[in-house]
Structure 1
Amino acid sequence: MTKPKNIQEATRENWIQNTFPEWGTWLNEEIEKSVVPESNFRMWWLANNGVWLKTHEDTNILVDLWNGTGKQTHGNGLMKDGHQMMRMSGVREMQPNLRLQPFVIDPYAVKNVDALLVTHIHSDHLDINTAAAVLQNSGPDTKFIGPQAVVDIWKGWGVPEDRTIVVHPGDEVKVKSVTIKALEAFDRTALLTVSKEEKIAGHLPQDMNEIAVNYLFKTSGGNLYHAADSHMSNMFAKHGNENKVDVEIINYGENPRGITDKVTSIDVLRSAEDLKTNVVIPVHYDIWSNFDADPQEIVKLWQMKKDTLDYKFHPFVWKVGGSYTYPQDKEKIQFHYNRGFKDVFTHENDVPFTSFL
């Protein structure tokens, strides 16, 4: 849409269409043009638990991309009946979960996706706009991969059944150069998620394996473990014993009083030790205002403990929209955006003096 040239042309609709997504197609273009070095894999953080994985062989896998918002109005001030946070805490007041991050990718400009994977049923991971965009812009070989309940929702939205693949812990799926292994998830919050109708009907605890999985992505550059919204579990050690893990992504956040929903800083480190990973990357802390946390807490704890506990891994503090290449970036502790201006003074400048000193 054309930007307004005067007050009369400036409207709310014009503002929205010219502003959102805030990054436009900048990141879409970056991902498409990106060439991954041999024996490496590259990924981009798309906010929340959303990740784009790209391999040297040009396999492109999209995980948990969410294009929604949190609260936009105070409404009646109450959570929906049956909401997992209400069930967990016994609190009825609406949680103030406002979205903190901009939209760094345009879902409807997404191209060349070989598979869309979703870890579990929560709506900030399972997104209808992502599903629609991938279905519209991809070829017939692009697959939609997830646990049974996720696939059921996709089919209800109109994703053809022959494009879907249901996975349970232990299943492996080959997508071009990447082998994807589904593993047990430890997301107790997902078990509390029921509709009002299910609650009235006397809903029993759901089967975790039908509603949530973790993923291990085996690439020519190393293996990525996506822990989704899993809580701390001793089973991380089992996964670490049975699988080679190079990089772990795990949810992290500052839990509100009476809530156990996100992994704490110490459990980020515990999970990494159990998985025997080389790098652990916290995510999810960025998106909800009421779970906002500082990942430097993880770094400080790691610095305190790494020598006495002989940690073989280190944390990496990412930023939304940024990339991470493994093992090329293996030694990095923190991401910083490209600052540009690398070629200053290679052309004649037009200022009247060259120094302000």
Structure 2
Amino acid sequence: MVKAKNVQEATRANWIENTFPEWGTWLNEEIEASQVPENNFRMWWLANNGVWLKTHENTNILVDLWNGTGKQSHGSGLMKKGHQMMRMSGVQKMQPNLRLQPFVIDPYAIKNVDALLVTHIHSDHLDINTAAAVLKNSSPETKFIGPQAVVDIWESWGVPTDRTVVVHPGDEVTVKSVTIKALEAFDRTALLTVEPDVKIKGALPQDMDEIAVNYLLKTSGGNLYHAADSHMSNMFAKHGNENDIDVEIINYGENPRGITDKVTSIDVLRSAEDLKAKVVIPVHYDIWSNFDADPQEIVKLWQMKKDTLNYQFHPFVWKVGGSYTFPQDKDEIQYHYDRGFSDVFSTDNDVPFPSFL
């Protein structure tokens, strides 16, 4: 990577090479160096539904990391025939789903991943660059875990079959210090994504359990429930009755007219109550310009209802690239990036100024 020193060397290719990913390997280095306290687990939000979980025992689980973009051109002005949003609502006009977030992690600098989990078949969760990077840079023991349709796609990309693990609701897989339990997903949009002529091993395209799952990640520091792109469902209460859930991650967004794709603010709270979670963290609202939403709405609703409804949980408003440690941060409501400058005046400054400043 050579930075341009004059306008002749400043080309589009040079600009791209020196700019993306915008955070370089900053976050890769932070995750690798991070020491998780005993009886805790730590997570980093990688944008959209992407999460990196690390345990005290140094087990590293990567979930739904996406390294792609949304629309980059107006094109013909019309949606691609058969697109899930067209099939869902009949919309024809090109949708302005532009990526809002920077790339905070370099997928090709990822190391020491013990398992890559993908929840479902949508391309903003199931990413070829993530698969390639994990395959190239990880141990031969690293597993690719997902429902059958996800595994079918991985294998079509060249991921060896012996590296994949197909899971259905109720299945458990142990990866070092973490037990991963697959649970039912409630992602009705995913059912519209599978084309009728797509063949999934041993299943019909309409079989949710073959194309999408939720995950419960059980660690020595607590349990994380990843609800992926699930819609609101009464079955959350069943999951809450049958499992011990500390932290829930769920998709959230401001649905455009005629669309029911993301969970609304009130259903973020409803799902957490049903799951009997201690903390609920909304994600996904950050990534698409046409689903952009303000998570402070969730906080305000929680404040309005928490005493009347005796909520035993609270929301946490995250920021992309930020970390969250449970239970160390269990009482936090909102994340803020490190402001730095903790060592101000640890050395003499070069520019003297009056002491009264």
Instruction: Using the TM superposition, give the Cα deviation of residue 351 of structure 1 relative to its aligned residue in structure 2, in angstroms.
Output: 2.6
Instruction: Using the TM superposition, give the Cα deviation of residue 232 of structure 1 relative to its aligned residue in structure 2, in angstroms.
Output: 0.2
Instruction: Using the TM superposition, give the Cα deviation of residue 195 of structure 1 relative to its aligned residue in structure 2, in angstroms.
Output: 3.5
Tell me the equivalent position of 2:241.
241
Instruction: Using the TM superposition, give the Cα deviation of residue 196 of structure 1 relative to its aligned residue in structure 2, in angstroms.
Output: 8.0
How far apart, in 1, do the equivalents of 2:111 and 2:206 lie?
Answer: 35
How far apart, in 2, do the equivalents of 1:347 and 1:9 lie?
Answer: 38
How far apart, in 2, do the equivalents of 1:165 and 1:153 lie?
Answer: 13
Structure 1 residues 190-224: Cα deviation after superposition (integer angstroms, max 9, x where no partner): 001133866xxxxx761000000000000000000
SS at match of 1:8: coil
Cα-Cα RMSD: 1.4
Using the aligned pairs only, state the percent identity.
Answer: 87
- Quick one: structure 1 residues 354 and 319, their matched pair in 2 at CA, closer, same or farther if it must change by over 3 Å? farther
Structure 1 residues 247-271: Cα deviation after superposition (integer angstroms, max 9, x where no partner): 0000000000000000000000000
SS at match of 2:69: coil
CA contact (8 A) 2:195 2:205 kept: no
How far apart, in 2, do the equivalents of 1:167 and 1:193 lie?
Answer: 20
Question: Residues 141-180 of structure 1 correspond to what in structure 2 (within 5 A)?
Answer: 141-180=141-180
Instruction: Using the TM superposition, give the Cα deviation of residue 14 of structure 1 relative to its aligned residue in structure 2, in angstroms.
Output: 0.3
2:323 maps to 1:293: no
How far apart, in 2, do the equivalents of 1:209 and 1:346 lie?
Answer: 57
Structure 1 residues 177-199: Cα deviation after superposition (integer angstroms, max 9, x where no partner): 0000000000000001133866x
Question: Residues 205-220 of structure 1 correspond to what in structure 2 (within 5 A)?
Answer: 206-220=206-220
2:75 maps to 1:71: no
Tell me the equivalent position of 2:264.
264
How far apart, in 2, do the equivalents of 1:353 and 1:337 lie?
Answer: 29
| Gapped regions of structure 1 (runs ≥ 5) | 199-203
The amino acid across from 1:320 in the alignment is V
How far apart, in 2, do the equivalents of 1:194 and 1:77 lie?
Answer: 24
Question: Residues 52-91 of structure 1 correspond to what in structure 2 (within 5 A)?
Answer: 52-91=52-91
TM (norm. structure 1) is: 0.97
How far apart, in 2, do the equivalents of 1:133 and 1:147 lie?
Answer: 20
Structure 1 residues 74-133: Cα deviation after superposition (integer angstroms, max 9, x where no partner): 011111111111111111111110000000000000000000000000000000000000
How far apart, in 1, do the equivalents of 2:350 and 2:118 lie?
Answer: 52
How far apart, in 2, do the equivalents of 1:196 and 1:274 lie?
Answer: 34
| Gapped regions of structure 2 (runs ≥ 5) | 199-203
CA contact (8 A) 1:83 1:194 kept: no
How far apart, in 2, do the equivalents of 1:123 and 1:154 lie?
Answer: 12
Tell me the equivalent position of 1:42.
42
The amino acid across from 1:245 in the alignment is I
301-310 vs 83-92, which moves further: 83-92
Structure 1 residues 225-277: Cα deviation after superposition (integer angstroms, max 9, x where no partner): 00000000000000000000000000000000000000000000000000000
Structure 1 residues 133-157: Cα deviation after superposition (integer angstroms, max 9, x where no partner): 0000011100000000000000000
Tell me the equivalent position of 1:134.
134
How far apart, in 2, do the equivalents of 1:228 and 1:163 lie?
Answer: 23
The amino acid across from 2:33 in the alignment is K
SS at match of 2:324: strand
- Quick one: structure 1 residues 196 and 206, their matched pair in 2 at CA, closer, same or farther if it must change by over 3 Å? closer
How far apart, in 2, do the equivalents of 1:205 and 1:17 lie?
Answer: 40
2:118 maps to 1:125: no
How many matched pairs? 354
107-116 vs 341-350, which moves further: 341-350
SS at match of 1:9: coil
Tell me the equivalent position of 1:309.
309
Tell me the equivalent position of 2:274.
274
Tell me the equivalent position of 2:201.
none
CA contact (8 A) 1:278 1:313 kept: yes
- Quick one: structure 1 residues 356 and 86, their matched pair in 2 at CA, closer, same or farther if it must change by over 3 Å? farther
2:67 maps to 1:104: no
How far apart, in 1, do the equivalents of 2:194 and 2:242 lie?
Answer: 33
The amino acid across from 1:264 in the alignment is T
The amino acid across from 1:132 in the alignment is A
After TM superposition, which residue ranges in structure 1, 4 or more long, deviate above 4 angstroms? 354-357
TM (norm. structure 2) is: 0.97
How far apart, in 1, do the equivalents of 2:150 and 2:73 lie?
Answer: 28
The amino acid across from 2:139 in the alignment is G
